[in-house]
Structure 1
Amino acid sequence: MKIEQYQIDQHNDGLLSSHNNQYVYTKELLGEQGIYADEVVKALQDFQVAIPSWALGTGGTRFGRFSGGGEPRSLEEKIEDVGLLHALNRSSGSISLHIPWDIPEQPKETIQLASSLGLTFDAVNSNTFQDQKNQELSYKFGSLSHVDAGVRKQAVNHNIEVIKYGEQLGSKALSVWLSDGSCFPGQSSFVKAFQYTLESLQEIYAALPDDWKVYVEYKAYEPNFYSTVIQDWGSSLLFCQKLGPKADVLVDLGHHLPNANIEQIVATLMMEGRLAGFHFNDSKYGDDDLTVGSIRPYMLFLIFVELVDGMRRANRGSSSYAWMIDASHNVKDPLEDLLQSVEAILISYAEALLVDRKKLEQARSVNDVVLAQQILQNAFRTDVRPLVREAMRQSGGAIDPVGLFRQVGVRSELMNERGKITVATGL
Structure 2
Amino acid sequence: MILDKSLIDQHNETLASAQQKKFDFLQSSLQDEGHDVAAILEQLAAFQIAIPSWALGTGGTRFGRFAGGGEPRSLEEKLEDVGLLHALNQSSGAISLHIPWDIPQNAVAIKQLAASFDLQFDAVNSNTFQDQSEQDYSYKFGSLAHTDKHVRDQAIAHNLEVIKHGVDLGSKALTIWLSDGTDFPGQQNFRRAFNRTLDSFHQIYEALPADWKVFIEYKPYEPHFYSTVVADWGTSLLFCQKLGEKALGLVDLGHHLPNTNIEQIVSRFLMEGKLGGFHFNDSKYGDDDLTVGAMRPFQLFLIFNELVEGMTSSEVKNPALSWMIDASHNVKDPLEDLLQSVEAIKIAYAQALIIDRKALEKAQEQNDATQAQEILQQAYRTDVRPLLAQVRLDYGAAIQPLAFYREQKIRQKLIKQRGAKTYTTGL
- After TM superposition, the score normalised by the length of structure 1 is 0.99
The equivalences for 1:228-307 within 5 A come to 228-307=228-307
Please give the alpha-carbon distance, in whole angstroms, between the structure 2 residues aligned to 1:117 and 1:92. 10
Query: Partner amino acid for 1:94?
Result: A
The reply on whether 1:189 has 2:189 as its aligned counterpart is yes
- Kindly tell me: are residues 238 and 317 of structure 1, through their superposed partners in 2, closer, same or farther at Cα, counting changes over 3 Å? closer
Distance (Å, rounded) in 2 between the aligned partners of 1:382 and 1:318 = 29
Matched-pair contact (CA < 8 Å) for 1:46–1:318 = no
Distance 2:272 2:369 in 1: 27
CA shift digits 1:89-143 (9 cap, x unpaired): 0000000000000001100000000000000000000000000112110000000
Q: Give the superposition deviation at 1:394.
A: 1.1
Distance in 2 of aligned mates of 1:345 and 1:191 = 38
Any idea what the Cα deviations from partners look like across 1:324-368, whole Å, max 9, x if unmatched? 000000000000000000000000000000100100111111111
Q: CA deviation at 1:314?
A: 5.1
Deviation >4 Å, runs of 4+: 314-319
TM-superposed CA distance for 1:81, in Å, is: 0.3
SS at match of 2:311: helix
- CA 1:394/1:256 → structure 2, altered by over 3 Å: closer, same or farther? same
The answer as to whether partners of 2:215 and 2:250 remain within 8 angstroms in 1 is: yes
Query: What is the alpha-carbon distance in structure 2 between the residues aligned to residue 183 and residue 121 of structure 1?
Result: 36
CA distance in 2, matches of 1:261, 1:380: 18
Task: Give the conservation status (yes or no) of the 8 Å contact 2:273–2:317.
Answer: no
Deviation at 1:319, TM superposition (A): 9.2
TM-superposed CA distance for 1:375, in Å, is 0.2
CA contact (8 A) 2:352 2:379 kept: yes
Distance in 2 (alpha carbons) for counterparts of 1:229 and 1:214: 17
SS state of the match for residue 216, structure 2? strand
Q: Is the 8 A contact 2:181 2:228 kept in 1?
A: yes
What is the identity percentage for the equivalent residue pairs of Structure 1 and Structure 2? 63
**How far apart, CA to CA, are the structure 1 residues paired with 2:318 and 2:38?**
17
For the aligned residues, what is the CA RMSD?
1.2
Shift of the alpha carbon at 1:304?
Answer: 0.1
In the TM superposition, 1:75-154 aligns within 5 A as 75-154=75-154
Tell me which moved more, 15-24 or 359-368.
359-368
One-letter code aligned to 2:377: Q
Aligned residue type for 1:58: T
For structure 1, the 5+ residue unaligned runs are none
Q: Secondary structure at 1:320's aligned position in 2?
A: coil
Q: Is the 8 A contact 1:293 1:300 kept in 2?
A: yes
2:425 maps to what in 1?
A: 425
For the residues of structure 2 that align with 1:54 and 1:245, how far apart are their CA atoms? 29
Give 1:210 shift: 0.5
1:317, distance to aligned residue in structure 2 (A): 12
Offset, 1:315? 8.8
- Alpha-carbon separation, structure 1, partners of 2:346 and 2:27: 17
The equivalences for 1:2-13 within 5 A come to 2-13=2-13
* Alignment deviations for residues 202-237 of structure 1 (CA, whole Å, 9 cap, x no partner): 000000000000000000000000000000000000
Matched, 1:384 2:401: no
Q: CA deviation at 1:36?
A: 2.1
- Deviation at residue 26 of structure 1 after TM alignment: 0.4
Distance 1:84 1:131 in 2: 32
Distance 2:13 2:318 in 1: 31
The equivalent of 1:178 in structure 2 is 178
Q: Quick check: 1:47–1:319 contact (8 Å CA) kept in 2? A: no
**Is the 1:47–1:318 Cα contact (8 Å) retained in structure 2?**
no
Q: Is the 8 A contact 2:270 2:316 kept in 1?
A: no
Q: AA paired with 2:80? A: E
Contact 1:67–1:423 (CA<8 Å) still a contact in 2?
yes
1:422 is paired with a residue whose SS is coil
CA–CA distance in structure 2, aligned partners of residues 87 and 421 of structure 1: 26
Deviations for 1:37-69, whole angstroms, at most 9, x for unmatched residues?
222111110000000000000001111110110
SS at 1:249 equivalent:
strand
Residues 243-252 or 364-373, more deviating: 364-373
- Aligned counterpart, 1:64: 64
Contact 1:220 1:255 in 2 (8 A): yes
The alignment covers a number of residue pairs equal to 427
Closer, same or farther in 2 for the Cα pair 1:173/1:298, shift >3 Å?
A: same
1-structure distance, mates of 2:211, 2:97 = 19
405-414 or 100-109, which moves further after superposition? 405-414
* Counterpart residue type for residue 222 of structure 1: E
- Higher mean C-alpha displacement, 359-368 vs 295-304: 359-368
Cα distance between partner residues in 2 of 1:273 and 1:5: 42
State the partner residue of 1:17.
Answer: 17
CA distance in 1, matches of 2:327, 2:202: 29
Contact 1:70–1:417 (8 Å) recurs in 2: yes
Q: How far apart, in 2, do the equivalents of 1:179 and 1:314 lie?
A: 36
Alpha-carbon distance between aligned partners in 1 of 2:208 and 2:318, rounded to the nearest angstrom: 23
Change in CA separation of 1:238 and 1:319 when aligned onto 2, cut-off 3 Å: closer
Which residue of 2 is the match for residue 367 of structure 1? Answer: 367
Structure 2 segments unaligned to the other structure (5+ residues): none
Q: Distance in 2 between matches of 1:85 and 1:319?
A: 27
The 1-side partners of 2:133 and 2:77 are apart by 22
Change (3 A) 1:400 1:31: same
CA contact (8 A) 1:249 1:274 kept: yes
The whole-number CA distance in structure 2 between the counterparts of 1:316 and 1:369 is 24
> Residues 314 and 365 of structure 1: is their aligned pair in 2 closer, same or farther, counting only changes over 3 Å?
closer
Q: Is the 8 Å Cα contact of residues 219 and 255 (structure 1) preserved in structure 2?
A: yes
- 2:37 is matched with 37
